[in-house]
Structure 1
Amino acid sequence: MHRSPLGNQVRLGVLLVLLLALALPLLPARAQVTTDGWSGTVEPCGNGFATQTFGPGPASPPHGTGSLQFSVAAVDDGKVWSQFVQRGVVETPLTAISELRYWTFVSRGAGHAPHLFLDVDLNGDGVADDRLIYQPELNGTVTPLTWQEWSAAGGRWWSQRGLGGLLQGAPGLLTSYALAFPNARLALPEGGQGGLGIGVGCLGSGWGGWQGAVDALVFRAGTLSFFWDFEATGVVTTRGGGVREGPTFRDLRPAPWSTVAPGPVTIAVTATTPSGLRSVRLSLDGRELPVTESGDRNTRTVSTQLTLQPGFFVVTAIATDELGRSFTAQWQFVVSPDPRDSWWFRADGTPRQQQITASLRALSEAFRWHFFGYSWDGAYHPEMPTHASVASTLRVVTRSPMHFGTLSPTEPIMISAAVVSSESPLASVELTLNGQPLDVEISRDDERRWLVYAIRTLSPGTYGVTATVRDTAGRRFTTVWGFVVSSDANENPWFYPDGRMKAEVVTRTLRTLVEGWRWHTRGQSWDGKPHPEFPTHSTGVSGAEPLPQWFDAQGRPNQQAISDTLRMLEQEFRWHFWGISWDGNRHPEIPTHAD
């Protein structure tokens, strides 16, 4: 934990001339407090004067016994913008912010409460271009001498530059701003003080003599989660999304991977935590459900009943405790009149081509990105962790043939990639087909936009294309895609046109996934040797375990073995990438990037 000498009373005496020259707070080192990345600063808007204090109270704070307290002097009608800023959230996409809430207390002065602000970069240069401001008084009534909680993520904001339709006189939602600027990310202003901030003063009149406090600030975006508790000793930070501690689940219904009859289906889960539950949410196939709640502060059951027709369904439960730690469970179930039907096989043992293809495709794509940084669609994927160094400034905007497409062998096939660099000029683009380099033509729109292509007549079979892009700065980006050449459009990489599984291809895919996964998460080597060319979280090497027998000697699928393998891979991939549990429990035996 970072510690810096910041006095219990951070004095922000501000004279306009001095601030124009330095814009720095005065930090008397009378005692040490923990700030954990937060710092006090000011921006001039007059000749006002303010202080920031970590202290006990006021009244009974929502968490702990203390708070961050602001006082604005009556000088110059309180014209000073006193700020407390946190730069640890920079680079967070604006669209990723799912929770931003805090508590305020007004001790003296009417109409105003401490506001939040987000500094955002709009053009990708890493420097903030705009500041978005959330004022409690524009989102409700500020009640003096009362602790009030404000849910800012879903509240109304305004843009300091008036962009995205968010005006101070007509504030709007962050989602509206994100539609206008979908690539907006939190960033630092040129002065280096900002990112996420708490402020008082400047916005409006009547700040002279104002006093108030802030406590229990929650920030959550994807797997990034912070709970900042302001105490008399400084900032107490709780990090992480609940992967190591916080809520857990039990009694998942319907049971994971189960099959239930069509009609009324109860969807429910029970969340527990010793830290107190703030919320428990349920969604089905990405749609949040209205639920009935029961229980107490530390144990809560949420449930709903829906009428469901036959199909495949995914439930997601998210529990957040009072420290801001969130934990997610996700599980699947099947609705069918035949209880022997399953996710990947029908009751008679016939493989479900669409379901198995979707699982093998998703697992293969995630595997390549995570291990090697190979994109499946030509785009950069910050939502998914990777062990490779991947250039976010390069992308393949279009490619052919279509990924997982099936083409006729009677026509010449164009293999192409349209490549764009957002920064340095392009240096080279290489195409390979099944590992063999292609002799390509290059059409250059300009130094940052190229179309690279080759035309070939191909015999029936399965093909893989790799496009490797480099720019003049040495950055590299790789995308991989596949297609099938067949006289029957119903054929795909893993299935014949009649719906039979390609035993040899499916076995090779599953073997690669299982052996790669065992090495990556457990250090189990398929040949007993170390493999430094593949990343691993293990510090040692162990021997291989036997692989399941996925097909018999006649090429008939082993339903149980294939289902068990796909289930294991999907469950462990989700945990490893995002800390999403398949059964409501934590799994410390499997490493996760969600820490």
Structure 2
Amino acid sequence: CILITILLIFNSCKKQDVENIVPAIPPVLVTDADLHGWVKAPKGLATVEFVKGPVTPVLGSGSVRFSSPDKSFARLINMGYSGTPLSSITELSYSGFVEKRDSTVDTNALILEIDNNGDGLSDIHLIYEPRYQTGKFVAGTSIPDPGNSKTNTWQTWDGLKGGWFGIVKLPGDPDPDQGAVLYTLAEYINKNPNATIVNNKVGGITPGGIRVQVGGPVFSKNFIGYVDNIKIGVNGITTTYDFE
């Protein structure tokens, strides 16, 4: 009887373990030949291009190179997540590498276009910038401090746990340097439970609910940086983008 009971418990545990396994999803290979929903959107003298390196990227052998010699915006946009509730995002991160910058803080930023009231129009740009994830900007908050961005080093930035700020008017609203308070996505969702990613075009920006970008008023000239290993999880299923 004891042996039978042990076997039944063992078989039950094995079945439960199998049911709880989430199949591993291989990275999505993004190339010029197959962009998988990503769109290059540089302005002015800025460029966005797929390249080898630098050094050894987090995934594969290549990455996306962003160059902004004149502070113009260099953007990589994804339009495939429009209509996704912000509350269903379960992972949101990317790896960045800074090759050259005239400041000590310029780094690739992650931006979400958000509709709060269900009319399908963007109400706010939610912005995650590594420059604001450390020191005085996160002191006294629940936001983890990953340290300063570095040059010539691959670093991974966690947008799901990190601090964001919002811009409603372009330009005009303050950033954290001007007193804007950071909040996590969970805190934003708590105040805006209907927040949804949308592709609405705002301020002349190519439509795209999720984008990585460099450039703009807070940037210095002559920035060169790279991004790879973008992870976007929805309801526990994560898509990892490998740029080659």
TM-score, scaled to structure 1: 0.31
- Once the two structures are TM-superposed, the CA of residue 42 in structure 1 deviates from its matched residue by 4.5
Deviations 1:13-66 (A, max 9, x none): xxxxxxxxxxxxxxxxxxx532111002257xxxx5211110100011011000
- Once the two structures are TM-superposed, the CA of residue 189 in structure 1 deviates from its matched residue by 1.7
Q: Give 1:567-578 correspondences, 5 Å limit.
A: none
Gaps of 5+ in 1: 1-7, 9-31, 232-595
Residue 152 of structure 1: aligned partner? 159
Q: Give 1:282-297 correspondences, 5 Å limit.
A: none
Which amino acid in structure 2 is aligned with residue 131 of structure 1?
H
- Once the two structures are TM-superposed, the CA of residue 161 in structure 1 deviates from its matched residue by 2.1
Counterpart pick for 2:51 among 47, 52, 55: 55
Give the match's secondary structure for 2:160: coil
Residue 143 of structure 1: aligned partner? 150
Q: Give 1:537-552 correspondences, 5 Å limit.
A: none
Q: Give 1:424-573 correspondences, 5 Å limit.
A: none
Residue 195 of structure 1: aligned partner? 209
Partners of 2:216 and 2:122 lie apart in 1 by 20
Give the match's secondary structure for 2:188: helix
Residue 209 of structure 1: aligned partner? 222
Contact 1:83 1:199 in 2 (8 A): yes
- Once the two structures are TM-superposed, the CA of residue 132 in structure 1 deviates from its matched residue by 0.2
Residue 241 of structure 2: aligned partner? 228
**Is residue 2:193 matched to residue 1:182?**
yes
Contact 1:83 1:197 in 2 (8 A): yes
More divergent stretch after superposition (135-144 vs 220-229): 220-229
Contact 2:41 2:48 in 1 (8 A): no
Give the match's secondary structure for 1:49: coil
Which amino acid in structure 1 is aligned with residue 235 of structure 2?
G
Q: Give 1:295-314 correspondences, 5 Å limit.
A: none
Residue 122 of structure 1: aligned partner? 116
- Once the two structures are TM-superposed, the CA of residue 223 in structure 1 deviates from its matched residue by 4.6
- Once the two structures are TM-superposed, the CA of residue 225 in structure 1 deviates from its matched residue by 2.7
Give the match's secondary structure for 2:183: coil
Residue 17 of structure 2: aligned partner? none
Which amino acid in structure 2 is aligned with residue 188 of structure 1?
N
Pair 221,167 (structure 1): closer, same or farther in 2 beyond 3 Å: farther
Counterpart pick for 1:65 among 61, 64, 70: 61
Residue 24 of structure 2: aligned partner? none
Residue 87 of structure 1: aligned partner? 79
Gaps of 5+ in 2: 1-30, 134-146
Partners of 1:152 and 1:40 lie apart in 2 by 21
Residue 128 of structure 2: aligned partner? 134
Higher RCO structure, 1 or 2 (CA under 8 Å, sep 6+): 2
Partners of 1:56 and 1:211 lie apart in 2 by 14
Residue 171 of structure 1: aligned partner? 182
Pair 115,148 (structure 1): closer, same or farther in 2 beyond 3 Å: same
- Once the two structures are TM-superposed, the CA of residue 86 in structure 1 deviates from its matched residue by 0.5
Which amino acid in structure 2 is aligned with residue 175 of structure 1?
A
Partners of 1:193 and 1:62 lie apart in 2 by 28
Partners of 2:226 and 2:166 lie apart in 1 by 24
Contact 2:91 2:238 in 1 (8 A): no
Q: Would you say how many aligned residue pairs link Structure 1 and Structure 2?
A: 190
Partners of 2:48 and 2:201 lie apart in 1 by 23
- Once the two structures are TM-superposed, the CA of residue 167 in structure 1 deviates from its matched residue by 6.2
Pair 167,153 (structure 1): closer, same or farther in 2 beyond 3 Å: farther
Contact 1:129 1:189 in 2 (8 A): no
CA RMSD, 1 decimal: 2.1
Partners of 1:174 and 1:127 lie apart in 2 by 19
Which amino acid in structure 1 is aligned with residue 150 of structure 2?
T
- Once the two structures are TM-superposed, the CA of residue 85 in structure 1 deviates from its matched residue by 0.6
Contact 1:41 1:193 in 2 (8 A): no
Deviations 1:369-402 (A, max 9, x none): xxxxxxxxxxxxxxxxxxxxxxxxxxxxxxxxxx
- Once the two structures are TM-superposed, the CA of residue 203 in structure 1 deviates from its matched residue by 4.7
Give the match's secondary structure for 1:117: strand
Q: Give 1:259-274 correspondences, 5 Å limit.
A: none
Deviations 1:321-340 (A, max 9, x none): xxxxxxxxxxxxxxxxxxxx
Q: Give 1:364-375 correspondences, 5 Å limit.
A: none
Pair 42,56 (structure 1): closer, same or farther in 2 beyond 3 Å: closer
Which amino acid in structure 2 is aligned with residue 39 of structure 1?
V
Contact 2:77 2:210 in 1 (8 A): yes
Contact 2:125 2:166 in 1 (8 A): yes
Residue 108 of structure 1: aligned partner? 100
- Once the two structures are TM-superposed, the CA of residue 197 in structure 1 deviates from its matched residue by 0.4
Residue 3 of structure 2: aligned partner? none
Which amino acid in structure 1 is aligned with residue 151 of structure 2?
P
Contact 2:113 2:208 in 1 (8 A): yes
- Once the two structures are TM-superposed, the CA of residue 229 in structure 1 deviates from its matched residue by 0.5
Which amino acid in structure 2 is aligned with residue 213 of structure 1?
Y
Which amino acid in structure 1 is aligned with residue 46 of structure 2?
A
Partners of 2:190 and 2:164 lie apart in 1 by 14
Partners of 2:200 and 2:160 lie apart in 1 by 21
Partners of 1:105 and 1:93 lie apart in 2 by 30
Residue 38 of structure 1: aligned partner? 38
Name segments (4+ residues, structure 1) moved above 6 Å: none
Contact 1:71 1:212 in 2 (8 A): yes
Partners of 1:153 and 1:168 lie apart in 2 by 19
